[in-house]
DNA sequence: AGCAGTGTTGCAATTCTTGCAACACTCATT
DNA sequence: AATGAGTGTTGCAAGAATTGCAACACTGCT
């Protein structure tokens, strides 16, 4: 582990909170101003940090571009996308695709609802991991000890009365989800929004991603939404088949 | 400028192209494997890099989270958002907000069209800088020499027959945009999509962001879209007023 | 004008990084 | 089964790169 790089990278989350000037950065890093300056300069050269007109630093444009590019190169995403679109054309609701990665679950694709009432979410945004249907699927597939470890570490915010209250309840829910092979979120994140989700599996049977259909109560009831489950599962299975059948592209680029 | 950090950061764009293993990274960096390993480890600790099951590295989830967080903390975005939503409610079309930063223009907010036909774009994605209406406005405001320098450096892809063909034409267009104070893109990016854009200015009169309304031909003709120009400009001006009137919040946290 | 606050540079000490070479490990092949 | 190629990993010593200092610019205030 490199100390210099470690310090430089520590600047990024710091600036994500909001712009900061040289002194503030140096203080929070616990280094001399001149050191902070040189680190910031290096970050700047790579476009990860931008210096605004008031001389303060904030995160730079290249960061967004990098994130976008990385996302678009994800194999699952590429394969899944047309399926998601087709599903959206069939049912009209918002369709999400999400992956798990080191204690975070995040949306990597989204097709917006055709209905005027939309739910708030954004590609790249970490999802409410304790309640989202896709998160339950992704976590349920972890090896038992790891699942436990993650569940203990999490916070359990009470978004609504039906939010998962604590680790024990979450682990029970994960066990159920694991057995039935699909998951729901019925108003656990936002009072009036329900989701049904199904897993996408790789060749080895492990879950590599999860997809969901979400709709607000005012458009369809939870029961009506549940009737879409077979369709969602079929779509997920189709993606799984295509994903695992494919020989991994080992580009030498 | 720090060599170590420089090398570490060079890994990111490399991985943005696609996953790579240790050897590939070391080669492309021109350093020993052990060095590359230690850099990758540091990046990994910060979540910027993820090690997938086949041991290859790719960009990590934290990168997306950082980009998201940074975006949501942008002052202009925060102020503009409700205005964009209102504009969308009035006209029904897709509304974009974009900023310029070191040779790139990128969308920082978007409100989707109410019509079923949507245009492809994504928050955080760099825009087609040579044709987009918002890009014209943002570049037109640069000091003359810088504008020239940027225009020379750019590529001019022929998205459609009406795309800006070269630097000379682009500079002429920028001059026109600069004088009239608004911009359009009539099928320059995608054959059937038109946009009108207006600038958002800070207290000093400089353009800090630009917003646009976009719609495909099949919904409204270019002429009809142009009738929205006054509304777009009024919205942009309202945002400008609110943005420049506000005293900068100097939070210590 | 003078002053406080902030950002910037040259330099010497020493810390931190680097490359090497040897070692583990996995996987495919004979 | 065993060998070998390919890849990832670690300890160590040499040397290079980073660090903090202190002095210097610069800007905006009082």
Straight-line distance from CA B34 to C1' D9, in Å?
8
Average pLDDT, rounded, for chain A: 90
Please tell me which of the candidates A4, A15, A60 has its beta carbon nearest to residue B101: A60
For the record, the structure tokens of B95 come out as 């509304």
| A178 confidence band (pLDDT: 50, 70, 90) | very high
Q: Which residues of A touch B124 (CB under 8 A)?
A: 64-65, 67-68, 124
The CA–CA distances, whole Å, from B130 to A60, B133, B153 equal 21, 9, 11
Question: pLDDT of B3-14, one tens digit each?
Answer: 999 999 999 999
Which pLDDT belongs to residue A75?
83
Strands (E), B66-169: 94-101, 104-111
* A-chain residues near B123 (CB < 8 A): 122-123
| CATH class, range A74-245 | alpha beta
What number is the average pLDDT over the span A164-177?
Answer: 96
- Residue B190 has phi, psi (to 5 degrees) of -125, 135
If pLDDT is split at 50, 70 and 90, which confidence band does B116 have?
low
**A125 DSSP 8-state letter:** P
Cα(B113)–Cα(B191) distance, rounded to whole angstroms?
18
Contact A5 B8 (CB under 8 A): yes
| Residue B244 pLDDT exceeds 70 | yes
B22 touches strand D (CB under 7 A): yes
pLDDT in tens, A52-98: 878 899 999 889 889 888 888 888 898 999 999 999 999 999 999 99
Chain A residues closer than 8 Å to B48 by CB: 9, 12
Please check whether strand D approaches the CB of A27 to within 7 Å: no
CB A193 within 8 A of CB A159: no
pLDDT tens digits for range B14-45 = 999 889 999 999 999 999 999 999 999 999 99
Contacts of A8 in chain B (CB under 8 A): 2, 5, 8-9
Each residue's pLDDT tens digit, A88-129: 999 999 999 999 988 889 999 998 887 765 566 778 778 999
Can you give the distance from the CA of residue B35 to the C1' of nucleotide C19 in angstroms? 8
Closest C-alpha among A64, A28, A60 to residue A43: A60
- Residue B119 binned pLDDT confidence (cut-offs 50, 70, 90): low
Quote the mean pLDDT of chain B.
90
Of the two residues B125 and B236, the one the predictor is more confident about is B236
Report, in ranges, which bases of strand C sit under 7 Å from a protein C-beta: 6-10, 16-21
What's the CA B32/C1' D14 distance, rounded, in angstroms? 16
Q: What is the pLDDT of residue B12?
A: 96
- What is d(CA B59, CA B50) in angstroms, rounded to the nearest whole number? 6
Contact A245, A134 (CB under 8 A): no
Question: Among all chains, which residue has been given the structure tokens 């616990």?
Answer: A30
- Residues A25-50 have a mean pLDDT of 94
Alpha-carbon distances of B193 from A25, B133, B186, rounded to whole Å: 44, 12, 7
Contact flag, residue B2 CB and nucleic strand D, below 7 A: yes
Contact (Cβ atoms closer than 8 angstroms) between residue A198 and residue A236: yes
Q: What is the CATH number of domain A3-66?
A: 1.10.10.10
Structure confidence at residue A115 (pLDDT): 72
Q: Nearest residue to nucleotide D21 when comparing alpha carbons to its C1'? A: A32
Q: Of B217, B149, B225, B211, whose CA–CA distance to B189 is shortest? A: B217
Residues 6+ positions from B41 with CB-CB distance below 8 Å: A1
Confidence of residue B122 (pLDDT cuts 50, 70, 90): confident
How big is the CA angle at B248 (ends B247 and B253), to the nearest 5 degrees? 135
- Read off the pLDDT of each residue in A143-172 and give the average, rounded to a whole number: 94
A41 touches strand D (CB under 7 A): no
- Cβ–Cβ below 8 Å for B70 and A16: yes
The residues pairing with A51 across neighbouring beta strands, listed in sequence order, are A57
Give contacts of B122 with chain A, Cβ < 8 Å.
Answer: 68, 123
Q: Is the pLDDT of residue B204 over 70?
A: yes
3-state secondary structure of B188: coil
Residue nearest to nucleotide C21 (CA to C1'): B34
- CA separation for the pair A109, B138 (Å, rounded): 29
Residue B118's pLDDT is 59
CB neighbourhood size of B120 (10 A): 8
Topology agreement, domain A3-66 and domain A74-245: no
Cα of B50 to nearest chain A Cα, Å: 8
C-beta atoms of B123 and A122 within 8 A: yes
Say how far apart CA A99 and CA A83 lie, in whole Å.
16
Instruction: Note whether A45 contacts B1, CB cutoff 8 Å.
Output: yes
Measure the CA–CA gap between A165 and A144, rounded to whole angstroms.
20
What is the spatial distance, in angstroms and rounded to an integer, between the CA atom of A249 and the C1' atom of D2?
31
Alpha-carbon gap, residue A185 to B159, rounded angstroms:
43
Once rounded to an integer, what is the mean pLDDT over residues A136-161? Answer: 94
Per-residue pLDDT reduced to its tens digit, B62-107: 898 898 888 888 888 989 999 999 999 999 999 999 999 888 899 9
End-to-end CA distance of chain B: 27
**A180 to chain B nearest CA, in Å?**
26
Q: Which two tokens stand for residue A145?
A: 């000890």
Between chains, do B5 and A6 touch, taking CB under 8 Å as contact?
no
Of the two residues B12 and B205, the one the predictor is more confident about is B12
Neighbours of A22 (CB within 10 A): 15
Q: Report residue B252's pLDDT band, with 50, 70 and 90 as the boundaries.
A: very low
Question: Smallest CA–CA separation between A141 and chain B, in Å?
Answer: 15
pLDDT exceeds cutoff 70 at A160: yes
CA dist., res. B94 & res. B229, Å (int): 14
Percentage of chain B lying above the pLDDT 90 cut = 70
- A-chain CB neighbours of B118 within 8 Å are 112
Q: How long is chain B?
A: 253
Q: Tell me, what's the pLDDT at A86?
A: 95
CB A88 within 8 Å of CB A110: no
- Nucleotide nearest the Cα atom of A40 (by C1'): C7
In chain B, domain spans: 3-66, 74-245
Cβ A124 vs Cβ B68: under 8 Å: yes
Nucleotide nearest to A29 (CA to C1'): D19
Cβ burial of A213 (10 Å; 0-12, 13-18, 19+) is buried
Distance (Å) from CA A43 to C1' C4? 29
Contacts 24+ apart (CB under 8 A), A48-57: A48/A12, A48/B9, A49/A11, A49/A12, A49/A15, A50/B101, A50/B102, A52/A19, A54/A19, A54/B248, A55/A21, A55/A22, A56/A19, A56/A20, A56/A21, A57/A15, A57/A19, A57/A20, A57/A21, A57/A22, A57/A25
Share of chain A above pLDDT 90, in %: 70
Q: How sure is the predictor about A239, in pLDDT bands with cuts at 50, 70 and 90? A: very high
User: Which regions of A5-150 does DSSP assign to beta strands (E)?
Assistant: 49-51, 57-59, 94-101, 104-111
Closest chain B C-alpha to A165 CA, distance in angstroms: 25
Kindly report the backbone phi and psi dihedral angles of residue B208, in degrees, each rounded to the nearest multiple of 5, phi listed first. Answer: -105, -20
Footprint of strand C on the protein (CB under 7 A): A 2-6, 21-23, 33-34, 37, 55-56; B 3-4, 7, 31-35, 38-39
Closest approach of B2 to chain A, Cα-based (Å): 6
B55 contact partners, CB below 8 Å, separation of at least 6: B21, B22
Record: contact B46-A10, CB cut-off 8 A: yes
Query: CB–CB of B63/B32 below 8 Å?
Result: no
Q: Which residue has the higher pLDDT, B125 or A55?
A: A55
């Amino acid at each position: 582990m490199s100390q210099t790089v470690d310090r430089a990278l520590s600047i990024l989350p710091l600036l994500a909170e909001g712009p900061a000037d040289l002194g503030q950065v140096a203080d929070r890093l616990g280094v001399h101003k001149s050191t902070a300056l040189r680190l910031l300069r290096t970050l700047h050269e790579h476009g990860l940090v931008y210096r605004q007109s008031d001389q303060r630093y904030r995160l730079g444009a290249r960061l967004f571009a990098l994130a976008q590019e990385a996302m678009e190169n994800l194999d699952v995403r590429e394969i899944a996308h047309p399926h998601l679109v087709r599903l959206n054309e069939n049912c009209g609701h918002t369709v999400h695709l999400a992956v798990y990665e080191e204690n975070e679950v995040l949306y990597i694709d989204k097709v917006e609802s055709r209905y005027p009432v939309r739910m708030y979410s954004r590609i790249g945004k970490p999802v409410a991991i304790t309640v989202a249907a896709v998160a339950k699927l992704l976590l349920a597939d972890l090896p038992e000890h790891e699942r436990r470890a993650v569940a203990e570490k999490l916070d359990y915010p009470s978004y609504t009365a039906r939010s998962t209250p604590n680790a024990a309840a979450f682990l029970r829910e994960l066990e159920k989800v694991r057995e039935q092979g699909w998951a729901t979120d019925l108003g656990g994140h936002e009072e009036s929004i329900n989701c049904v989700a199904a897993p996408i599996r790789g060749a080895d049977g492990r879950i590599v991603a999860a997809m969901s259909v979400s709709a607000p109560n005012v458009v369809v009831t939870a029961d009506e939404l549940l009737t879409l489950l077979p369709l969602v599962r079929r779509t997920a299975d189709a993606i799984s088949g295509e994903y695992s059948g494919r020989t991994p592209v080992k580009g030498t680029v």
